[in-house]
Amino acid sequence: MARLQPTHRSPWNAIYVKPRHEKNVANHLRGKGFDPFVPTYKSQRARGSELPLFPCYVFCRVDPENRLPILTVPCVFFIVGIGKTPAAIEESEVAALKTVVASGCRVQPWQYMKAGDRVRIDGGPLRGVEGFFQRTHAESQLIVSVTLLQRSVAVSLESNWVIPASTSTPRTLSAGA
């Protein structure tokens, strides 16, 4: 059987799937030669089980001219887009999500944020990742967003890892920053 995998140049897209079928859809896509990405986190409520950070979404590189192999996977509803045209997700946003998930830091879903201080992480396992900084009580968090979906995830971090995204000089941000 010929592989249908898109080239590395194909953009990342979000595929909207039936609730609680993200992993099954990802497995089907892998079987068709695609490289799907389903970012997960360990739920505190569900006794440590892994849940998707973006329920009902699977990320995958999609060739806009060859969507049928994806759309025929059971439990796939559609590829997120404008009308019938898939809308790409920024490469940097997917790269940031992959780094966050692989970091080993505690991560959780978060409400989408438009405003706030854009920061870059200058230390630890998240070095180089950009997002929004937030401080809650005694905890510092990095908020990484997927603009197309208007969804975000929060990852706990050390506040001394954080520098403003527009500079290269390390600076610890406080609650008022």
Q: pLDDT tens across 77-89, in order?
A: 999 999 889 999 9
Query: Coil, helix or strand for 1?
Result: coil
**Angstrom distances, CA of residue 46 to CA of 34, 50, 102, 104, 136:** 30, 8, 21, 19, 23
Q: pLDDT tens across 101-136, in order?
A: 999 888 988 766 544 567 888 888 888 888 887 777
- Which CATH superfamily includes the segment(s) 12-86? NusG, N-terminal domain (3.30.70.940)
Q: Whole-model pTM?
A: 0.73
Q: Where are the alpha helices (DSSP H) in the chain?
A: 22-31, 68-71, 91-102
Residue for token pair 């990484």: 144
Residue 39 pLDDT exceeds 90: yes
Nearest of 139, 147, 146, 144 to residue 173 by alpha carbon: 139
pLDDT of residue 168: 46
pLDDT of residue 158: 77
Give residue 149's pLDDT band: very low, low, confident or very high (50, 70, 90): very high
Domain span(s) for CATH 3.30.70.940 in the chain: 12-86
Query: Coil, helix or strand for 75?
Result: coil
